[in-house]
Amino acid sequence: MTDPDGSESKKKRLGHRVAFEHHHNVSLTPDQKVLHLCDNPSCIEATHLELGTHAQNMKDMAEKGRSRTGNRISPVMWSTIHKMHEEGHSMKTIAHDFGISLWSVKRVLRITRQEHTATQEPQEQGFLFQDTPVLLS
């Protein structure tokens, strides 16, 4: 990539932006956004990418449950996701069943675990208050 003055740019560029530019033979401005249709941030498959705005990207994120503020997962869904995971259902299956992203399922399980751990007393977490060290499994 070259800068406007013709010199070689040393700035790193995101792979999905480079792939989009190459595939569509365009040069993007810094304010233009390239959105992932596949919801995989590391994907550089040009057919999985589209030009959009920051607002579109934020809306898509919220609609797919990837936003802390745009969460569309109800409390009942949270508990059901946790129960299904405890019963041995894969995260991929849970995501498919609820029509949400795998990332959302991982987030529900992580936050549920963190909130559960944070509200427990130390004894309930498995910590023992005694002088001899104990190996916890």
Q: How far apart are CA 35 and CA 51, in angstroms?
A: 6
Which has more confidence, 127 or 93? 93
Are the CB atoms for 64 and 39 separated by under 8 Å? yes
- Asked, for residue 101, whether it belongs to a domain, the answer is yes
Segment 46-103, tens digit of pLDDT: 899 999 888 888 777 777 766 654 456 777 888 889 999 999 999 999 988 888 888 8
The CATH number given to whatever domain includes residue 78 is 1.10.10
- DSSP three-state, residue 34: strand
Q: Are residues 91 and 45 in the same domain?
A: no
Please give the distance of CA 62 from its chain centroid, rounded to a whole number. Answer: 11
Mean pLDDT of the residues in the chain = 74
Q: How far apart are CA 44 and CA 36, in angstroms?
A: 9
Domain that holds residue 47: 1-52
- Asked, for residue 110, whether it belongs to a domain, the answer is yes
